[in-house]
Amino acid sequence: MARRYGRRLLERFFAAVDGEGVELYQWLFYLIIAFDGAQNLFIAHAQPLTLRGSMGIVPFQWWCALEMAAPLLCLVGRVLQDTKWWQSANRLQITGDLTLAGSELSYVVATFQIEPVGRGGHGGYLGLAFTLSAGLLAVRDYRRLRERK
């Protein structure tokens, strides 16, 4: 039984890898971001070096909380997507995506405050890519919600 379940899970994984969708990659990024928020808040008990001096302790703690909450909102929304609560599920995903976009935008602003454009800032550009991607996922989910109504 476990072997059959494992094989089915592996088949689903490779179907997602071979597909043209973004869901697998969205979850990869989101889970890593949630882990980063938890790691910064509960294990490191400190800001990343790129944020020191640009974000106070309370905004930093809120930033970590948002990084943990946003993926969870999206995960719950995704799990409920194919149920009778699909409208609420889409709203949860939109909220999670927008929350993550805002969280990452605060990271971008803080990073470029420390490392201005032209003087590094690699993390800021990655954060900007995450911000825009999460924003576009929110737009996608909103359009899906409008189409299904």
| Inter-residue contact 67 to 47 (CB < 8 Å) | no
Which alpha helices (DSSP H) does 19-121 contain, by range?
23-38, 57-79, 86-114
For CA atoms 93, 95, 101, 104, the dihedral sign is negative
Contact by Cβ (8 Å): 121, 115: yes
- In eight-state DSSP terms, residue 18 is H
Q: With a cut of 70, say whether residue 109 has pLDDT above it.
A: yes
Q: pLDDT confidence of 99, banded at 50, 70, 90?
A: very high
Q: Could you report the per-residue pLDDT of 10-67, keeping only the tens digit for each?
A: 888 778 777 777 777 888 888 888 998 899 888 887 777 777 778 888 888 888 899 9
Of 26 and 121, the one with more pLDDT: 26
pLDDT tier for residue 1 given thresholds of 50, 70 and 90: low
Q: Which of 71, 62, 67 is nearest to 30 (CA)?
A: 71
Average pLDDT over residues 1-16: 78
pLDDT(69) > 80:
yes
Mean pLDDT of the chain: 84
- pLDDT band at 97; cut points 50, 70, 90: very high
